A and B are shown apart, each in its own frame.
Chain A
Amino acid sequence: SLYPSLEDLKVDKVIR
């Protein structure tokens, strides 16, 4: 794939 993966960013990170 040519473009960067957005997989990590799609997960809503827990806000502490």
Chain B
Amino acid sequence: KFSDLFEKMVPMAVQQAMTIYNQRKSDFVNRLVGTMREATNLCNGVLASLNLPAALEDLSGDSIPQSIAEKARSIVQQGGLQSIEQLIKDLPELLTRNREILDESLKMLDEEETTDNDLRAKFNQRWNRTPSGDLYKPLRAEGANFRSILDKAVQADQVVKERYNTHCEMIALLCKPENELSAAIPSANPTKTLQGSEVVNMLRSQITKLDEIKKERETLEGEVKAVTFDMSVSFLTALARDGAINEEQLSSTQLEQLYGAYNQRVQASLRTQEELLGQVQTSHQEFSNLKQSNAESNQREEVLKKLASAHDSYVEISNNLREGTKFYNDLTEILLKFQNKCSDIVFARKTERDELLKELQQS
């Protein structure tokens, strides 16, 4: 049942190259995924601002357009306003827990250092071990880094809270039962006469194509994230062959091979979307001209646009909260490891101190 404990051990040069490679890879993937998501958000934003597709579905002028009803169902299914309210309520506690672990850890170092300094003041040259302050520099630097990370997290929490405050009213409306939601949307003239007209058909087809592009991107995101490759083999080979690792060159070549094609597809998707959105703008202009707008239909349109945006905001806030919760939980694990490092070194220093004291007393 022998298992090689040192199976994963590699030369230092390979270890360092792998760290940099992994950073490059995750930067690349994050940028690619970020680009795709930004494009989808842009698309959703443009459509919402044009009241699409709701305007095309709004036959009677007083019932809820299908796409809005679907958006409402979708966020109710995801837990509605309550689920994001709960996550927001939990954030401060998560922050506090992390702060406490960090504060405890640094306090341990401070206390041991104080004792060490007191003993050095008392015994002078006879207390000849390295001062704790010097030994603790790297740990304190790590601690300072954690503090700045927590400060950034606090700012992120604030952004989420503000987003929530801005949109919660409309989100709440979208979560209401159908009859209440319908009553809250002003009535207007029906646009029945426009159904079947060419511009409506064109808009429908353009919007369908945009939906397809968005779906493709979801698939693409999954594929990009699923790419695996063991770069350590390449680095080991290079080291054995050349005696050194040209990390930058090897990494960029490999990353291009792994992700180059995906990058092309993403760029193509952006170009197609831009074209389609342009077409939508043109068609929508025509559509607006045909529609007979008055104060009521404008009011109705405004509310429908706000409801569509509320859905997008809900999705964004949910994602932010999921990210924030995961961030704090991941950070707790990391801080607990840091706390262990601090308590281990303090324990070792205490043991050493006790031995030194014994020696001094005996001498």
User: Does A3 lie within 8 Å of B327, measured CB to CB?
Assistant: yes
Question: Which residues of B are found within 8 Å of A8, using beta-carbon distances?
Answer: 23
| Cα(A12)–Cα(B26), bound, Å | 17
On chain A, the number of residues with a Cβ less than 8 Å from chain B's Cβ atoms is 11
Q: Distance (Å) between the CB of A7 and the closest chain B CB?
A: 6
B159 within 8 A of A: yes
Say whether chain A's binding surface is mostly helix, strand, loop, or mixed.
loop
Say whether chain B's binding surface is mostly helix, strand, loop, or mixed.
helix
User: Does A3 lie within 8 Å of B26, measured CB to CB?
Assistant: no
Q: Which of B148-156, B212-220, B277-285 contacts A (4 or more CB under 8 A)?
A: B148-156
User: Does B156 lie within 8 Å of A6, measured CB to CB?
Assistant: no
| Cα(A6)–Cα(B156), bound, Å | 14
Contact with A along B254-269 (1 / 0, CB 8 A): 0000000000000000
Question: Which residues of A are found within 8 Å of B323, using beta-carbon distances?
Answer: 1-3
Question: Which residues of A are found within 8 Å of B30, using beta-carbon distances?
Answer: 1
Contact with A along B125-137 (1 / 0, CB 8 A): 0000000000000
B19 within 8 A of A: yes
Taking each of B30, B34, B320, B327, which has the highest tally of chain A beta carbons within 10 Å of its own beta carbon?
B327
Question: What are 14 A-B residue pairs whose CB atoms fall within 8 Å in the complex?
Answer: A1-B30, A1-B323, A2-B156, A2-B324, A3-B153, A3-B327, A4-B152, A6-B149, A6-B327, A6-B330, A6-B334, A9-B149, A9-B334, A11-B19
